[in-house]
Structure 1
Amino acid sequence: YNDMFSPKAALWLAKEAVRQNKPVIYNMQCVPSFMERCGTSMQEIEEMMGLCTVFVSGREGYMEMTGETDCRKAMKILQEKYHIKDGVICTTGGDGAIWLKEEEIQVPAYGIKAVDTTGAGDSFLGGLIYAYFYEKREKKEALDFANATAAIKCMQEGPRSRASVEQVQKFRDSVKREL
């Protein structure tokens, strides 16, 4: 997992992971123009795009990478350009998340009263990595688990989530929604 805020280290680690046949998750937390001001070049971003197993960004990242305002079209452009092994994910805040490879999977966010959204993205990614890569759940199930993980974080004050896997599953069970 990396966010390219130390591009040389991130690229070195990604290359090692690829060499060892391990997944690489690239989370573009900030738009490329901001990342360039922080020392990460577009060339380095594109190199990581070619190495990653899953690419995750919000709408703004997709828009800036492609010039396309429709996140679904932008996702398709990036997937076709970089052929990311397991596809691209767009986090859409209160609308949930979208995963695209050959098909598009959209999973809605949980309707909660947010107390503090700080750390929700990191919680989402932790849930996604756990559900998809560790438990080997299908994409739709993994997105829902990630959305639940982020929702639990948003109901807590502070930047850190304190939810166990069992608590996330109990929360999901209490909502009972169709996937």
Structure 2
Amino acid sequence: MEKIIDVCGLGTLAMDVLMKVDMLPKEDGFCLVRSNSKQPGGSGTNVIVQLSRLTAKCGYIGAVGDDDLGKEVLKSLEAEKVSTADMIIKEGKTTLHTEIVIDDAGRKFIMLNMGDAFLELSAEEINIQSIKRARVFYTDFLPKEAALMALKAAKEADAKTVFNMQAGLETMEGLKVTKNEILDALQYVDVFAPCREGLYGLTGTTNLEECAGFLRHYCKGILLFTLGKEGSVAYDEQGKAYYASIYPVDAIDTTGAGDSYIGAFLYQYCLKNETIQESMEFAALCAGYTCTGIGARHTPTLEEAINMKANIR
């Protein structure tokens, strides 16, 4: 089948509702609300937006409600040139969103409202043809049944498959995804990129070599571990290790840096056929750029990434 889409994503999406207050209230206390605003979020859509900004042709699959938040999610993707043709709109349902309360000192707390639309995306609602027409399929394995069917379909269509486990094992289990289900899904995965908390929870160890050894029983593809300030480590199919440091920047906000990293890595490795090492270094650069601004969508265009790389050199 002809590949007419670079990357098809299926996974998390959200709208962040920001409330700035004078102080975080104590129990039974009050605070003064200074302003309200909205920002698009969700790790899955953040990754796809980074890919789109790097010139990849992308589409996304997920479920939103027909509420104002759902409309904002769709609008934000369309503004980033991400196709929403395969998004499912659930009538009368509430879109997944976070409510973030931030005080004058920058302290905050976050309330996650799962709504009743996102996890209701069923495998039967997925447009399999869009997945089969993509060169790369990306997912964070949520919702589980839909993501698993999509992984299998992408694999059958010879697409590169990527599983970015963005949450810890306890959180995944809270969303009704078990450890064994995650491990079983890895047989369909070409690039597995768990967050540090997820990696340690899956493997039961913090030793990276032991982590890789454990996962190799389930995944035959690339293992990519992002480690925050410690950089990133990858293991190829033969077990060779690759290391990349973070790019030194004056960080303002690290939100979304991991999403930018994964999106940039996929762009270089899966679409541009660059080496693992080069792809990791480019991804670290894009993640560094994200840290220099506010919000998860402060991610670079291809031109901005190239200019940043030139200036560092």
Match of 1:166 among 299, 303, 307: 303
Structure 2 residues without counterparts, runs of 5 or longer: 1-137
Where does residue 218 of structure 2 map in the other structure?
82
- Which consecutive residues of structure 1, in runs of 5 or more, have no partner in the other structure? none
Q: Please, what is the CA RMSD of the aligned residues? A: 1.3
Distance in 1 separating the partners of 2:258 and 2:192? 14
8 A Cα contact 2:290 2:298, kept in partner: yes
1:145 maps onto 2:282 in alignment: yes
Verify the 8 A CA contact 1:62 1:71 in the aligned structure 2: no
Which structure's relative contact order is higher, taking Cα pairs within 8 Å and 6+ residues apart? Answer: 2
Amino acid at match of 1:82: Y
Does the 8 A contact of 1:2 with 1:27 survive in 2? Answer: yes
- Aligned partners of 2:276, 2:299: CA distance in 1, in Å? 24
Comparing 5-14 and 40-49, the one that deviates more: 40-49
Question: Separation in 2 of the partners of 1:7 and 1:146?
Answer: 27
CA deviation map 1:54-102 (0-9, x unaligned): 10023222211111121232123212x12422x2011011121111122
Larger radius of gyration: 2
- Shift of the 162–54 alpha-carbon distance from structure 1 to 2, 3 Å rule, reads closer
- Identity over aligned pairs, percent: 28
The TM-score with structure 1 as length reference comes to 0.91
Higher relative strand content:
2
Shift of 1:140: 0.3
Does the residue aligned with 1:63 lie in a helix, a strand or coil?
A: helix
Corresponding residue SS for 1:35: helix
Name the structure 2 match of 1:55. 192
Q: Name the stretch that deviates more: 42-51 or 133-142.
A: 42-51
Query: What does the per-residue CA deviation read over 1:120-171, in whole Å, with 9 as the maximum and x for residues that have no partner?
Result: 1111111011111111100000001111111111111112024111211221
Query: What is the letter of the counterpart of residue 60 of structure 1?
Result: E
Aligned partner of residue 251 in structure 2, secondary structure: coil
More helix as a share of residues: 1
Say whether the 8 Å CA contact 2:200–2:211 is kept in structure 1: yes
Q: CA offsets per residue over residues 10-29 of structure 1, 9 Å max, x none?
A: 10110010000001111111
Deviates more, 1:162-171 or 1:134-143: 162-171
User: Please, what TM-score do these two structures have when normalized by structure 2?
Assistant: 0.54
Q: Aligned partners of 1:163, 1:112: CA distance in 2, in Å?
A: 14
Answering whether residue 144 of structure 2 is matched by residue 14 of structure 1, we say no
One-letter code aligned to 2:310: D
Residue equivalent to 2:181: 44
Cα separation, 2, equivalents of 1:59 and 1:162 = 22
Cα distance in 2, alignment partners of residues 132 and 5 from structure 1: 24
- Measured in 1, the distance between the counterparts of 2:308 and 2:185 equals 35
